[in-house]
Amino acid sequence: MLADQQILRIPGPSPIPPSVQRAMSQPMIGHRGLETKELLQQIKPELKTVFGTKQDILLIAGSGTAGLEAAVVNTVSSGDEVLVIVTGAFGDRFAKICNEYKTNVHRIDTAWGEAVNPDVIKDYLKSHSGIKAVFATYCETSTGVLNPVDEIAKIVHTYSDALFIVDGVSCVGGVKTKMDDWGIDILVTGSQKAMMLPAGLTFLAVSQRAWKTIEENKQSRFYLDLKKYRDNLAKDSTPFTPALSLLFGLKQVLKLMQEEGLEEVYKRHQLMKEMTRSAFRALQIPLLTNDTAASPTVTAIKPGDFRAEDLRRLLKKDFNLSVAGGQQHMKGEIFRIGHMGYCSPADVLQVISIIEIGIKKAGGNIELGKGTRAAQEIYLG
């Protein structure tokens, strides 16, 4: 094993393209100068395409959780009724944020590994007319589930006057996203997942409908006040010091996406998902999610005859390959493979081949090469 060779296949942070690393190493510039103004002018239109919106995308120096909290604190106040759809650890995080601001939290919980049934939301909204905002997770990173946010949005707007607010942190940039067409009111993502940047930048897109609510909301906020970001972005500026190195990198990320073409980006992620899932099926190792609910950016596996943590330890020790473990009650029960952003089918083949060795060493009863071959056949097919 080479000490400097890191194989990072967790669902974020994800690897950084070399050209993006070079872009981020540019000399620092004045954040109130003409260069930063021009940088924001170049970034703004390309980001809209990734989100599928005509709205400007707000840029906040902070993690994805800062974006989730901003979505809460700007739209609801203490005592407001909100509905949080919880399909894993990050849906639960949305609920915890709402609880911190003393809202009246209603929850729809699903079994981990399952996507939410939109009909359950419809029935809930029909019997709870006071819901002011519905919070959902597009890709639930902890389980590898992709929720049908397009269907949920239709239901929210048909059966309530609530805002529909979506955590897209682990999938925007890697899966089809049509914020305006679907009717999402606020969409949040972070820099360190499919957006191929280090952690430290959060993005929010806000509908005109949501802006009306934000303008009327009396909840106190300062750094996370989205009106400040909107008003400054209109002047190609930011209300507070921006993460300039990440903005340099973001410009290059958007160039890479444009050159590949967003539809091709989505096809690549779909292919990597199918290769990964086919490999573990061939090895007869259970997947946590079914095909319909599976995310193109992360796959969760629930082994039976070997321990997930033993596998993770062996992969790290022998190959410096990092895959993620489970969270909360799934800790030690599953492992998760990230295939998002700067990741290709070649990377998937490498990872599957290495994991097969790790499974053997961890005591799993598999035939070496069977998973790799299955992934190869998906690629060729």
Residue 378 burial (CB < 10 Å; 0-12/13-18/19+)?
A: buried
Mean pLDDT (the chain, rounded): 97
Percent with pLDDT over 70 in the chain: 100
Q: Please count the other Cβ atoms lying within 10 Å of the Cβ belonging to residue 181.
A: 11
Has residue 1 got a pLDDT over 80? no
Give the model confidence (pLDDT) of 182-224 as tens digits. 999 999 999 999 999 999 999 999 999 999 999 999 999 999 9
* Average pLDDT value for residue range 6-14: 97
Helix and strand counts by DSSP (H, E) for the chain: 14, 14
Q: Give the per-residue pLDDT at 335.
A: 98
- The C-alpha angle with vertex 215 and arms to 250 and 108, in degrees rounded to 5, equals 75
In sequence order, the β-bridge partners of residue 206 are 186
Q: Give the per-residue pLDDT at 2.
A: 82
Give the model confidence (pLDDT) of 33-72 as tens digits. 999 999 999 999 999 999 999 999 999 999 999 999 999 9
Ligand-binding annotation for 336, yes or no, is yes
Sign for the pseudo-dihedral over CA of 353, 355, 356, 361 = positive
Q: Report the C-alpha gap between 346 and 337 in whole angstroms.
A: 15
Q: Give the per-residue pLDDT at 3.
A: 82
Q: Give the per-residue pLDDT at 315.
A: 98
The CATH code of the domain at 7-14+261-380 is 3.90.1150.10
Q: Give the per-residue pLDDT at 296.
A: 98
* Average pLDDT value for residue range 338-360: 98
Q: Give the per-residue pLDDT at 249.
A: 98
Under 8 Å between Cβ of 76 and 101: yes
Q: Residue ranges of the domains in the chain?
A: 7-14+261-380, 18-258
Sign for the pseudo-dihedral over CA of 321, 344, 181, 63 = positive
Under 8 Å between Cβ of 86 and 79: no
- In CATH terms, is domain 18-258 a member of 3.30.70.270? no
Percent with pLDDT over 90 in the chain: 99
Q: Give the per-residue pLDDT at 230.
A: 98
Q: Give the per-residue pLDDT at 213.
A: 98
Give the model confidence (pLDDT) of 302-322 as tens digits. 999 999 999 999 999 999 999
Give the model confidence (pLDDT) of 137-186 as tens digits. 999 999 999 999 999 999 999 999 999 999 999 999 999 999 999 999 99
* Average pLDDT value for residue range 97-103: 97
CA 183 to chain centre: 19
* 169 DSSP 8-state letter: T
First to last CA, the chain: 33
